[in-house]
A and B are shown apart, each in its own frame.
Chain A
Amino acid sequence: EPEVTQTPSHQVTQMGQEVILRCVPISNHLYFYWYRQILGQKVEFLVSFYNNEISEKSEIFDDQFSVERPDGSNFTLKIRSTKLEDSAMYFCASRSGGDYEQYFGPGTRLTVT
């Protein structure tokens, strides 16, 4: 069964460093998403991406964040200058055009020290 994959599973970085989190969505899907969950809190929407552009973003998704689909298969989330409060589990999800159901990856745990 096709699945969404994410790499790395755990990333440790120092405050101020740039990180890139990678996702490979399901191949025929058209809509792509990033979410995050800070430990003990709700899963929060960050951004949705369709037709090679951002379709919606939350107030969390400020200028420090960017997304890209560089080669038609990968979908990346970049954080330019990480802060301690960016430590969270980051989930990628994708869905097909004719379906509401989003398929989630296993997440990347980002730890900023």
Chain B
Amino acid sequence: ILNVEQSPQSLHVQEGDSTNFTCSFPSSNFYALHWYRWETAKSPEALFVMTLNGDEKKKGRISATLNTKEGYSYLYIKGSQPEDSATYLCAFNSGGYQKVTFGIGTKLQVIP
């Protein structure tokens, strides 16, 4: 059974603070790691897909890193804004299979 763990499950930060969360996944048979941003009542929005060990991706103030050997990925948000408030989901593909296994998500609340 593949298990994807995310921590913390919930996080409150002040506007302007930088923050980061973790996703851990099985390190064997790695294929791809996805990060999604999910606001209530909206579609989960793809942020990054990473496939290579050492990948670093950036979109505005949000960036992510990937370590497939040890089975973790970090998502960083620099200078958090209230509009960053959302649940951030991590998901993992193994071995080229279509199935994507999700973590429980990190719910971020940015306080103005």
Contacts and interface: CB of A to CB of B under 8 A. Distances in A.
Contact of A33 (B34, B49, B98): B98
B104 A102 contact: no
B92 to A, nearest CB: 11
B90 to A, nearest CB: 10
B100 A45 contact: yes
Interface of A: 3-4, 31, 33, 35, 41-45, 48, 50, 55-56, 58, 91, 99-107
A30 to B, nearest CB: 12
A103 B49 CA distance: 12
Nearest to B98: A48
A48 B46 contact: no
A93 to B, nearest CB: 8
Band of interface residues on B: 20 to 34
Which of A50, A101, A105 is the most central at the interface, judged by chain B CB atoms within 10 Å of its CB? A101
A91 B44 contact: yes
Q: Which 3 A-B pairs have the closest CB atoms?
A: A48-B98, A43-B102, A56-B98
Interface of B: 4, 32, 34, 36, 41-46, 49, 51, 89, 91, 93, 97-105
Contact of A42 (B49, B97, B103): B103
Nearest to A4: B43
Contacts of B46: 101-104
Contacts of B34: 100-102
Given A43-B89, A45-B99, A100 B43 contact: no
A100 B102 contact: no
Contact of B99 (A48, A50, A99): A48
A100 B32 contact: yes
A58 B104 contact: no
Contacts of B44: 43, 91, 104
A42 B41 CA distance: 16
Contacts of B99: 45, 48, 56, 58
Contact of B42 (A43, A102, A106): A106
A105 B43 contact: yes
A33 B98 CA distance: 9
